[in-house]
C-alpha cells in the first residue's frame, strides 16, 4: 500500500480519481490535466478502469503523462481503478498493479447504482489499495477496516454514486476512517473547484470545519 505519510494544509484542489480515453473518459490525459490546471488543481490521479485484460496497457500508456510534470506545477499520479473485479481477484490484481508501477490504486466500490459484486468492499479493504471509491452502503465493520488499513473512503461528486455520500461520511466519522473528496471525472464538466469540493463534503453531512479539513488537509501520497 502507498504510505500516506503526511497531510499538508492547502487551498487548492487535489483529485485522485479521474478517467481518460484509456477507459471511458472523454479526454486524453493532456487535456484532462490542462482543464484541471485551470481550476487550480495541484495534484491529479489518473485512474482509468482496469481489470486483468487491460491493466498493463493502461499503466504503460498513462505513465507517459508524467512528462507534463516537467513543465507544470502539478503532481500527476498514475494508477488504476479496479472495476467489477470478482472479490477473490482484487488483492492479486492490486499487487500486480503495484508491480507494474501504479502510484495509486482505487477500487470501484459497491455503489448502489451498478451491479457490483457483494464482497467487493471488504476484499478491497483487505488489499493493497489506497482508496475505496463510492462504497455505497458500507458497514461499520468495513469502515473500521478502512481505518485499520489506512485506506481512504471516497466522498464523490459523481451523480448517482453520490446518493450514499451521507451514509459513507457518517460511518467514516464513527470509525475514524480517512475520507477524500474525488470527482470520478469522465468529462470536462465533471471537474470541480476546491470550493465545490467543500460543498460536496458538507452535503454529505460534515460541518464546514470538517469539510474543509477533508478537502484542505488532503492525504498527500508519498512512497
Q: Which domains does the chain have, with CATH numbers?
A: 14-221 (3.20.20.140)
Residue pair 222/201 in contact by the 8 Å Cβ criterion: no
Q: Across all residues in the chain, what is the average pLDDT?
A: 93
Range 214-223 average pLDDT: 66
41-50/13-18 β-pairing: parallel
First to last CA, the chain: 9
d(C-alpha 97, C-alpha 145), whole Å: 22
Cα–Cα dist 151/162, whole Å: 19
**What gap in Å lies between CA 191 and CA 15, rounded to an integer?**
9
What H or E segment, with its residue span, contains residue 98? helix 87-99
- Asked if residue 22 lies in contact with residue 61, where contact means CB atoms within 8 angstroms, the answer is yes
Provide mean pLDDT across the span 93-99: 98
Give per-residue pLDDT as tens, 41-74: 999 999 999 999 999 999 999 999 999 999 999 9
* Alpha-carbon span 59 to 46, nearest angstrom: 10
Q: What percent of the chain has pLDDT over 90?
A: 91
Q: What is the mean pLDDT of residues 140-144?
A: 98
Q: Which residue has the higher pLDDT, 4 or 147?
A: 147
Q: Rounded distance, CA 146 to CA 159, Å?
A: 24
DSSP lists the bridge partners of residue 105 as: 80
Amino acid at each position: 500500500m502507498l504510505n500516506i505519510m503526511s497531510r499538508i494544509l492547502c487551498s487548492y484542489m487535489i483529485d485522485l480519481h479521474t478517467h481518460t480515453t484509456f477507459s471511458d473518459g472523454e479526454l486524453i490525459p493532456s487535456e484532462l490535466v490542462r482543464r484541471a490546471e485551470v481550476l487550480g488543481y495541484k495534484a491529479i490521479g489518473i485512474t482509468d478502469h482496469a481489470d486483468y485484460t487491460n491493466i498493463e496497457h493502461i499503466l504503460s500508456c498513462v505513465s507517459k503523462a508524467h512528462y507534463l510534470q516537467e513543465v507544470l506545477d502539478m503532481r500527476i499520479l498514475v494508477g488504476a481503478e479496479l472495476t467489477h473485479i470478482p472479490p477473490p481477484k482484487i488483492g492479486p490484481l492490486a499487487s500486480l498493479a503495484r508491480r507494474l508501477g501504479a502510484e495509486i490504486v482505487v477500487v470501484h466500490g459497491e455503489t448502489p447504482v451498478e451491479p457490483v459484486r457483494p464482497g467487493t468492499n471488504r476484499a478491497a479493504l483487505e488489499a493493497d489499495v489506497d482508496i475505496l471509491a463510492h462504497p455505497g452502503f458500507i458497514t461499520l465493520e468495513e469502515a473500521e477496516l478502512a481505518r485499520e488499513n489506512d485506506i481512504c473512503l471516497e466522498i464523490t461528486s459523481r451523480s448517482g454514486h453520490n446518493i450514499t455520500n451521507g451514509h459513507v461520511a457518517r460511518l467514516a466519522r464513527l470509525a475514524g476512517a480517512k475520507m477524500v473528496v474525488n470527482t470520478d471525472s469522465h468529462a470536462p464538466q465533471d471537474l470541480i473547484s476546491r470550493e465545490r469540493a467543500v460543498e460536496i463534503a458538507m452535503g454529505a453531512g460534515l460541518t464546514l470545519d470538517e469539510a474543509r479539513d477533508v478537502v484542505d488537509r488532503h492525504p498527500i501520497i508519498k512512497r
